[in-house]
Amino acid sequence: MADSPYEARMLIGGARPPVDEDRAIDVHSPLTGARIAVISDASAGQVHDAVGAAQAAYDETWRTTNGAERAQLMHRFADLLDEHATAIGELESRDNGKLVRETTSQARFAARNYRFFAGLADKLHGRTIPLDQWETFDYTTRESVGVAALITAWNSPMQLLANKLAPALAAGCTTVVKPSEVAPLSTVYIAELLEEAGFPPGVVNIVTGGPAAGEALVTDPRLGRISFTGSVPVGQQIARLAAQNLTPVTLELGGKSANIVFEDADLDRAVVGAVAGIFAAGGQTCIAGSRLLVHESIAQEIEQRVSRRAGEIVLGDPTDAATNLGPVASKAQQDRITAMIAAARESGARLASGGGTPRPPGLADGYFVEPTVFADVPPDSQLANEEVFGPVLAMTTFADEQEAIRIANGTRFGLAAGIWTQDLSRAHRVARELVCGTVWVNTYRQSAAQAPFGGVKLSGYGRERGVEAIDEYLRTKNVLIDLSDEVRDPFQIKT
């Protein structure tokens, strides 16, 4: 893609309408601040048309396309994602500042998701149910919900989309996709790949824009499911709007995940896990291990080692192989992170490392935030309870297992947690007590297409990935058949 700004066009019913100058949104590079693209701020009419195209494609084509055929198209699409993974990764890195090796890997992981769910597309079985009435035959079918709205965040657009689009297509849904206006380019890129794979027009539609476009989408009464990944306030607003039409919603929201290091842990592995858990992707991931809970007997050593590793992280161009950390995704995000760092310092939290906004050589206009470590952070402080969504780690000590569990569960979030211990019994005990959707033991941030993902409390509800995800896009129908020859007249009076 050229360095000059270009039109990133929407996809509605197979058509690619040009960007209206009067309704254009600029997309900026987090590395330089320069404008790199323009997108449409979709009107309510365009959103309505996109849902209409999805509904027509469902009624006329996709509803009767069998699972084997859907799977074949999904496999073709996955092959194309693999072929274009480098281009997608480079585009996404330019768009949101993540390391190109991570965005490229996420494009390939997205392809794995489509292949996994393609394997489920022809296995959506119902069941027969024996009833008390011998002559009544009862069975269920699992049918798609119809049109699904899929709304993704800016931090990992291609991977987040795969978490939603793959099970939706496998279930037989048609879709309207809305990426974040902050980083929409990789999502728009795939429009041509969907056409090349052979998906009928209208099966996947892509609309771009801001909050008004999102509101027009989630309030459309024709939707059978809304799936959203993003912030808690926006998720709450979507749930309120969806309630008007009783549209079911899947919400994958924020987190304040605890990475718990016990005194018997392999400290070399735990330090690597702690550093990667928060500073990978610049901390701009919902599963970031933003709270490091450390047993008091090893706290000083862990603090020193984590702070030293944080100070060695190389900031720079995310497409440069020597870079460990790129810029955060936007100026607004940089401002929010630095404001929370300042608030933590003013409240008395002890800064162990970082805290600044560096300007790497030649990148003075980039949205950089230094990897930051705070120590002795009180569990009830803002830093320990509010999601920063940046490279900021809050370290807290604990005295025993029960205190670690209490602190870990002591936030409004419940997305993920990590446990570092060589005691197998402890690992199982603590995992059982943690109130969250995912627990890692002696690892962190690992993902798999087969493993279900989602949260509890303010981290949301519903599941993505794994066989559980396809249930979000299906509904159960029950069929009862009277096999007898008897006339069952409820008004007949027997004497």
Q: Which residues are catalytic?
A: 252, 286
- The answer to whether residues 150 and 455 touch, using CB atoms and an 8 Å cutoff, is no
The 3 state secondary structure assigned to the chain is CCCCCEEECCEECCECCCCCHHHEEEEECCCCCCEEEEEECCCHHHHHHHHHHHHHHHHHCHHHCCHHHHHHHHHHHHHHHHHCHHHHHHHHHHHHCCCHHHHHHHHHHHHHHHHHHHCCCCCCCCCEECCCCCCEEEEEEEEECCEEEEECCCCCHHHHHHHHHHHHHHHCCEEEEECCCCCCHHHHHHHHHHHHHCCCCCCEEECCCCHHHHHHHHCCCCEEEEEEECCHHHHHHHHHHHHCCCCCEEEECCCCCEEEECCCCCHHHHHHHHHHHHHHHHHCCCCCCCEEEEEHHHHHHHHHHHHHHHHCCCECCCCCCCCCECCCCCHHHHHHHHHHHHHHHHCCCEEEECCCCCCCCCCCCCCCCCCEEEECCCCCCHHHHCCCCCCEEEEEEECCHHHHHHHHCCCCEECEEEEECCCHHHHHHHHHHCCCCEEEECCCCCCCCCCCECCEECCEECCECCHHHHHHHEEEEEEEEECCCCCCCCCCCCC
Pairing outcome for strands 204-206 and 413-414: unpaired
Q: Which residues 6+ apart lie within 8 Å of 319 measured at CB?
A: 90, 93, 94, 100
